[in-house]
Amino acid sequence: MLRTLLLASAALIAFPAHAEEKPAPTASDAPAADSQDHDEPEQEIVVTGTRARAAADVLGGTAVLTNEELSRERRTTIGETLAAQPGVSATSFGPNASRPVLRGFTGDRARLLIDGIGSIDVSNTSADHAAIINPLTADRIEVLRGPSALLFSPSSIGGVVNVIDSRIPRKMAESPLHFDGIAGYGSAADERTISGSADVPAAGKIVLHADGSYMKSGDLRSGGHVLAPALRAQAAASADPAIRELADLEGEIPNTAARTWDVAGGAAIVDERGNLGFSVSHYDSLYGVPVRYSLDPSVEAEQVRLHAQQTRFDARGEITTETAGIHQIRMRLAAADYKHSEISDTGEIGTTFYSQGFEGRLELVQETHGRWEGVSGGQFSTRTTRIVGDEKFLPRNESNQYGLFTLQSLDFGALKAEGALRYEHNDLRAQADADIGNPLLDRSFDSFSASLGASYALGSGLRFGLNLSRSERAPTAEELFANGPHAGTQAFEIGNPDFTTEKAWGAEATLKGSGDGWNLSAAAYYSWFKDYIFDAPTGAVEDDLPVFQYNQADARYYGFEVEGSARLGTVGGFTLNADALADYVRAEVVDQGPVPRIPPLRMMGGIEAQSDALDARVEVEHSFAQERIAAFETPTAGFTLVNASLAWKPFGASSNTSLTLSANNIFDVEARRHASVLKDYAPLAGRDLRATLRVQL
pLDDT tens column, 327-374: 999 999 999 999 999 998 888 998 999 999 999 999 999 998 889 999
Give the mean model confidence (pLDDT) for residues 628-642: 94
pLDDT at 668 over 80: yes
Model confidence at 436, in pLDDT bands (50, 70, 90)? Answer: low
Can you say how many angstroms the Cα of residue 130 is from the centroid of all Cα atoms in its chain?
Answer: 12
CA 334/CA 316 separation, integer angstroms: 9
pLDDT score recorded for residue 302: 81
Model confidence at 16, in pLDDT bands (50, 70, 90)? Answer: very low
pLDDT score recorded for residue 13: 38
Q: Are 49 and 58 in contact (CB under 8 A)?
A: yes
What is the torsional sign of CA 551, 596, 253, 642?
positive
Give the mean model confidence (pLDDT) for residues 305-322: 94
Give the mean model confidence (pLDDT) for residues 291-314: 90
Model confidence at 537, in pLDDT bands (50, 70, 90)? Answer: confident
CA 585/CA 680 separation, integer angstroms: 21
pLDDT over 90, % of the chain: 69
CA 592/CA 585 separation, integer angstroms: 18
Average of per-residue pLDDT values in the chain: 89
In this structure, are strands 372-389 and 159-164 parallel, antiparallel, or unpaired?
unpaired
Q: Are 420 and 150 in contact (CB under 8 A)?
A: yes
At 441-451, the pLDDT tens digits run: 899 999 999 99
Model confidence at 307, in pLDDT bands (50, 70, 90)? Answer: very high
pLDDT at 15 over 60: no
Phi, psi (rounded to 5 degrees) for 581: -145, 145
Q: How far is CA 102 from CA 78, 82, 115, 442, in A?
A: 12, 10, 19, 31
Give the mean model confidence (pLDDT) for residues 189-202: 95
pLDDT at 606 over 80: yes
pLDDT score recorded for residue 46: 77
Give the mean model confidence (pLDDT) for residues 199-227: 95
What is the torsional sign of CA 467, 471, 476, 478?
positive
What is the torsional sign of CA 121, 122, 127, 128?
negative
In this structure, are strands 602-610 and 483-486 parallel, antiparallel, or unpaired?
unpaired
pLDDT score recorded for residue 29: 40
Q: Are 338 and 122 in contact (CB under 8 A)?
A: yes
Give the mean model confidence (pLDDT) for residues 505-514: 94
3-state percent breakdown (helix, strand, coil) of the chain, nearest 5 = 10, 55, 35
pLDDT score recorded for residue 21: 37
pLDDT at 27 over 50: no
**Residue 619: what residue type?**
E
**Residue 27: what residue type?**
A
CA 285/CA 291 separation, integer angstroms: 19
Give the mean model confidence (pLDDT) for residues 252-273: 95
The CA-to-CA distance between both ends of the chain, in Å, stands at: 56
Neighbours of 299 (CB within 10 A): 11
Between 31 and 312, residue with greater pLDDT:
312
Phi, psi (rounded to 5 degrees) for 436: -120, 20
At 563-603, the pLDDT tens digits run: 999 999 999 889 999 999 999 999 999 999 999 999 999 99
Can you say how many angstroms the Cα of residue 378 is from the centroid of all Cα atoms in its chain?
Answer: 23
pLDDT at 530 over 90: yes
Give the mean model confidence (pLDDT) for residues 303-314: 95
Reported in sequence order, the residue ranges of 412-501 that DSSP labels E, i.e. its strands, are: 415-430, 441-459, 462-473, 483-486, 491-494
Model confidence at 669, in pLDDT bands (50, 70, 90)? Answer: very high
Please tell me the least confidently modeled range out of 309-323, 484-498, 651-665. Answer: 484-498
At 51-92, the pLDDT tens digits run: 677 777 777 778 888 877 888 899 999 999 999 999 999 999
pLDDT at 40 over 50: no
Q: Are 406 and 384 in contact (CB under 8 A)?
A: no
Dihedral class, residue 57 (left if φ above 0, else alpha if ψ from -120 to 50, else beta): alpha
pLDDT at 1 over 80: no
pLDDT score recorded for residue 12: 40
Give the mean model confidence (pLDDT) for residues 473-490: 86
Q: Are 582 and 559 in contact (CB under 8 A)?
A: no
- Residue 84 burial (C-beta neighbours within 10 Å; 0-12, 13-18, 19+): buried
Give the mean model confidence (pLDDT) for residues 664-679: 96
